[in-house]
């Protein structure tokens, strides 16, 4: 396979077709089951003396709406949906492989119990808190500004953890550790402070649930080696695949959302991608020699 293979189709039968113990690291960011329509509107601004926004030095700007992307995040039985997919994730992981599942506060408690049943309670390694500070402030409760990332090792006594490859972060009290340590920084704890993908940043693809590369790069570097095979079967905008390939790994991405495929096709236009269209009518995968969308 090329360094990046992208499947378009239902992830369950695609997972069932992958060999057992073939993947070194899995990261997934499934729908959070918020019960809402997830929507992201892209905006740009142009100089206009009669515009609706005020910028630097009092200059006026007019907002232009570029478009809105959305998907419905509702499942009647979320755990029933996830369970067979997580069972397949356990099967395809190598003996020293790890699973990272990105979720939020609404479902994390229930999903952890499900993962304890599939992987075993002692395979639970960490609950990582990704904390950010962006967006509206509630006036009725403490605003939720974090996601949860559950890490399970298939074998809790044999797994990849290359902490020396991790990026370092500043000390909060550098004067207490001395100039040498302060200059080097420290490794993170299980609470990761990192901004969201900036609405105007270079990472932005416009996909509603895109996650920042800083979070994904850390997982890839610490929990896999160059040349390893990685998997994300809720690929979305393809950020995990981009992190994997740029850091010298191979990756399989799976999604059945046409908008996600459009975003990934644009994102990976300059690299060699093996596109696979899984067809339920024939129950097999069909390589696609041309791009999926025009």
Q: What is the pLDDT along the chain (294 residues), one digit of tens a residue?
A: 689 999 999 999 999 999 999 999 999 999 865 444 434 444 455 667 776 655 545 666 565 554 444 434 445 688 899 999 999 999 999 999 999 999 999 889 999 999 999 999 999 999 999 999 877 888 999 998 999 999 999 999 999 999 999 999 999 999 888 899 999 999 999 999 998 887 777 787 777 778 999 999 999 999 999 999 999 999 999 999 999 999 999 999 999 989 999 999 999 999 999 999 987 654 555 555 444 443
The per-residue pLDDT for 183 is 94
Q: How many structural domains are present in the chain? A: 2
> Quick check: is 64 in a domain?
yes
Range of the domain at 159: 4-35+74-288
Residue 294 lies in a domain: no
Instruction: Quote the pLDDT of residue 129.
Output: 97
| Pairing assessment for the beta strands 36-47 and 191-193 based on DSSP bridges | unpaired
- Residue 99 CA to its chain's centroid (Å): 12
Query: In terms of domains, do 200 and 258 share one?
Result: yes
Name the nearest CA neighbour of 18 among 82, 85, 101: 85
- pLDDT value at position 220? 98
Report the alpha-carbon distance of residue 247 to residue 224 in Å, rounded.
10
The verdict on 92 and 61 lying in the same domain is no
Domain-located, residue 162: yes
| Dihedrals phi, psi of 191, to nearest 5 degrees | -115, 115
Nearest to 95 by CA among 161, 162, 151, 20: 20
User: 56 and 29, same structural domain?
Assistant: no
Dihedral angle of Cα 161, 99, 129, 110, to the nearest 10 degrees = -150
229 domain residue, yes or no:
yes
Dist. CA 120–CA 246, nearest whole Å: 33
- The CATH number assigned to the domain holding 261 equals 3.40.50.150
Please check whether residue 259 lies inside any domain of the structure: yes
Could you tell me if residue 253 is inside a domain?
yes
Residue 62 lies in a domain: yes
Task: Yes or no: say if 291 and 275 are a contact pair by the CB < 8 Å rule.
Answer: yes
Same domain, 152 and 199: yes
Q: What is the pLDDT of residue 209?
A: 79
On whether the pTM is more than 0.85, the answer is no
Q: What are the C-alpha distances in Å from 225 to residues 6, 26, 212?
A: 21, 13, 21
Whole-number pLDDT of residue 193: 94
The gap between the terminal CA atoms of the chain, to the nearest Å, is 24
User: Do 64 and 166 fall within a single domain?
Assistant: no
């Amino acid at each position: 396979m090329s360094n990046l293979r992208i499947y378009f189709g239902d992830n369950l039968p695609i997972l069932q077709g992958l060999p057992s113990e073939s993947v070194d690291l899995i990261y997934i960011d499934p729908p959070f089951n918020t019960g809402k329509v997830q929507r992201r509107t892209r905006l740009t601004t142009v100089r206009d003396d009669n515009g609706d926004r005020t910028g630097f030095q009092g200059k006026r700007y007019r907002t232009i709406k570029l478009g809105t992307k959305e998907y419905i995040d509702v499942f009647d039985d979320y755990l029933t949906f996830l369970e067979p997919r997580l069972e397949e994730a356990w099967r395809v992981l190598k003996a020293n492989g790890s699973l990272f599942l990105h979720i939020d506060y609404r479902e994390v408690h229930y999903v952890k119990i499900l993962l304890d049943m599939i992987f075993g309670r002692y395979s639970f390694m960490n609950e990582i808190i990704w904390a950010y500070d962006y967006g509206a402030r509630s006036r009725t409760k403490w605003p939720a500004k974090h996601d949860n990332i559950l890490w399970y090792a298939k074998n809790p006594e044999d797994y990849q953890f290359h902490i020396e490859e991790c990026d370092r972060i500043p000390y909060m009290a550098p004067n207490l550790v001395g100039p040498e340590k302060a200059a080097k920084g420290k490794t993170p704890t299980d609470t990761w402070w990192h901004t969201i993908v900036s609405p105007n940043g270079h990472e932005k693809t416009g996909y509603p649930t895109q996650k920042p590369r800083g979070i994904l790069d850390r997982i890839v570097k610490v929990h896999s080696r160059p040349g390893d095979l990685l998997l994300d079967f809720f690929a979305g905008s393809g950020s995990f695949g981009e992190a994997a390939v740029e850091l010298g790994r191979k990756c399989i991405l799976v999604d059945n959302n046409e908008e996600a495929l459009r975003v990934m096709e644009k994102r990976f236009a300059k690299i060699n991608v093996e596109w696979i269209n899984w067809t339920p009518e024939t129950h097999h995968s069909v390589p696609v020699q041309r791009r999926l969308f025009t």
